[in-house]
Chain A
Amino acid sequence: MRMNDNLAQQQKEFLSFLKCKLPPEQASFRHQVEDIGNIDINTRLGIYQNAYQVRLEETIDTDHNTLGVYLGEELYDLMMTEYIACHPSHQFSLRHFSQQLPNFLSSHAIFSEHPQLSELARFEQRLLNAFDAADSERASFESLKELPPQHWPELKLRFHPSVQLLENHWNVVEIYKALKNDQTPPDAIQDKNNWLLWRNAENLTEFRPINKAAYTMLVSFQKGLNFAGVCQNLLEFMPEQEVSNTALEILAYWLNSGVIARMVSQP
Chain B
Amino acid sequence: MKKEFLGFGLGLRTDHFQDVLQDKPEIDWFEIVSENFFVAGGKPKYYLHAIRELYPMVMHGVSLSIGSTDPLNMEYLKNLKTLINEVQPKWVSDHLCWTGVDNTNSHDLLPLPYNEEAVKHVVARVKQTQDYLGQAILLENVSSYLTYKNSTMTEWEFLSQVAKDSDCYILLDINNIYVSARNHGFKAQDYLNAVDPERVCQFHLAGHSDYGDYVIDTHDNDICDSVWALYEKALQRFGPISTMIERDDNIPSLQTLQAELTQAKQIAEKVLGKDTIRENLHKEIANTGWQCA
Which residue numbers of A lie inside 8 Å of B, CB to CB?
Answer: 3-4, 6-8, 10-12, 14-15, 18-19, 31-34, 36-39, 41, 43-45, 47-48, 51-52, 55-56, 59, 88-95, 130-136, 161-162, 199, 203
Query: Residues of A contacting B40 with CB < 8 Å?
Result: 132-135, 161
Interface assignment of B290: CB less than 8 Å from any CB of chain A = no
Q: Quick check: is B189 within 8 A (CB to CB) of the other chain?
A: no
Q: Chain B contacts of A4 at CB under 8 A?
A: 69, 117, 121
Given that A10-B148, A11-B101 are known contacts, is A92 also in contact with B35, CB under 8 Å in the complex? yes
CA distance A130 to B42 in the complex (A): 8
- Cβ-neighbour of A3 out of B46, B120, B145 (below 8 A): B120
Contact A92-B73, Cβ < 8 Å, known A55-B107, A199-B42: yes
Task: Given contacts A48-B145, A161-B41, list 17 more A-B pairs with CB under 8 A.
Answer: A6-B117, A7-B112, A10-B148, A10-B150, A11-B101, A32-B148, A33-B147, A33-B148, A34-B151, A44-B146, A47-B145, A90-B104, A94-B35, A135-B41, A135-B42, A199-B42, A203-B46
List residues 108-167 of chain B with CB under 8 A from any CB of chain A: 108, 110, 112-113, 117-118, 120-121, 145-151
A-B CB contact pairs (8 Å), 15 listed: A7-B112, A7-B121, A15-B106, A34-B147, A34-B151, A43-B213, A48-B145, A91-B105, A92-B105, A95-B38, A95-B39, A132-B43, A134-B41, A135-B42, A162-B42
* B149 touching A33, Cβ below 8 Å: yes
Query: Complex: how many Å from CA A7 to CA B43?
Result: 41
Q: Report whether B148 and A34 are in contact in the complex, using a CB–CB cutoff of 8 Å.
A: yes
Give the total of B residues in contact with A, Cβ under 8 Å.
Answer: 48
Are A52 and B106 interface neighbours, CB within 8 A?
yes
Residues from chain A with a CB closer than 8 A to the CB of B43 are 131-132, 203
Q: How far is the CA of A8 from the CA of B148 in the complex (A)?
A: 14
A44 vs B149: C-alpha distance when bound (angstroms): 14
Choose one: B69, B103, B107; the contact of A7 (CB below 8 Å): B69
Contacts of A34 in B (CB 8 A): 146-149, 151
Q: Let me know if B41 and A132 touch, CB within 8 A.
A: yes
- Say yes or no: A36 contacts B147, CB within 8 Å: yes
Which residues of B in the span 59-77 have a Cβ within 8 Å of any Cβ on A?
Answer: 63, 65, 68-69, 73, 75-76
Chain A positions within 8 Å of B45 at CB level: 132, 135
Contacts A92-B35, A203-B42 given: A55-B104 contact, CB under 8 Å?
no
A132 touches B44 (CB 8 A): yes
Q: Which residues of A contact B68 (CB under 8 A)?
A: 11
List B residues at the A interface (Cβ < 8 Å): 35, 38-46, 63, 65, 68-69, 73, 75-76, 79, 98, 100-108, 110, 112-113, 117-118, 120-121, 145-151, 183-185, 213-214, 216
Tell me if A133 and B104 are in contact (CB < 8 A).
no
A interface SS class:
helix
**A160–B24 alpha-carbon span in the complex (Å):** 31
| Inter-chain contact B147/A92, CB cutoff 8 Å | no
B73 proximity list for chain A (CB < 8 A) = 92
**Contacting pair A52 B147 (CB below 8 A):** no
Indicate if the CB atoms of B108 and A93 lie closer than 8 Å: no
Q: Tell me how far the C-beta of B170 lies from the nearest C-beta in chain A, rounded to whole angstroms.
A: 22
Query: Are B104 and A48 within 8 A (Cβ)?
Result: no
How far apart are the CA atoms of A89 and B87 in the complex, in Å? 27
Residue from the list B98, B101, B107, B184 in contact with A36, Cβ < 8 A? B184
Chain B residue, CB-CB nearest to A9? B69
A59-B112 Cα distance, complex, nearest whole Å: 25
A88 and B69 contacting across the interface, CB-CB below 8 Å: no
Tell whether, in the assembled complex, residue B104 and residue A52 are in contact, meaning their CB atoms are under 8 Å apart. Answer: no
> A7 and B117 in contact (CB under 8 A), knowing A39-B214, A203-B46?
yes
**Residue numbers in A under 8 Å from B185 (CB-CB):** 36-38
Bound-complex Cα distance A162 to B42 (A): 9
Which 4 A-B pairs rank lowest in CB-CB distance, beginning with the nearest?
A: A135-B41, A134-B40, A8-B69, A132-B39
Q: How far is the CA of A11 from the CA of B146 in the complex (A)?
A: 14
Contacts of A45 in B (CB 8 A): 146
Residues of A close to B145: CB separation below 8 A: 39, 44, 47-48
Contact present for A132 and B42 (CB under 8 Å): yes
Smallest CB–CB gap between A51 and chain B, Å? Answer: 5
Contacts of A44 in B (CB 8 A): 145-146, 183
In angstroms, Cα B39 to Cα A45, docked, is: 34
Q: Which residues of A contact B213 (CB under 8 A)?
A: 38-39, 43
Is the CB–CB distance between A94 and B117 below 8 Å? no
CB <8 Å contact, A133 and B42: yes
Contacts of A3 in B (CB 8 A): 117, 120-121
**Which residues of chain A are near B151, meaning CB under 8 Å?**
34
Least CB distance, B176 to chain A, in whole angstroms: 14
Q: Contacts of B110 on A, CB cut-off 8 Å?
A: 11, 14, 48
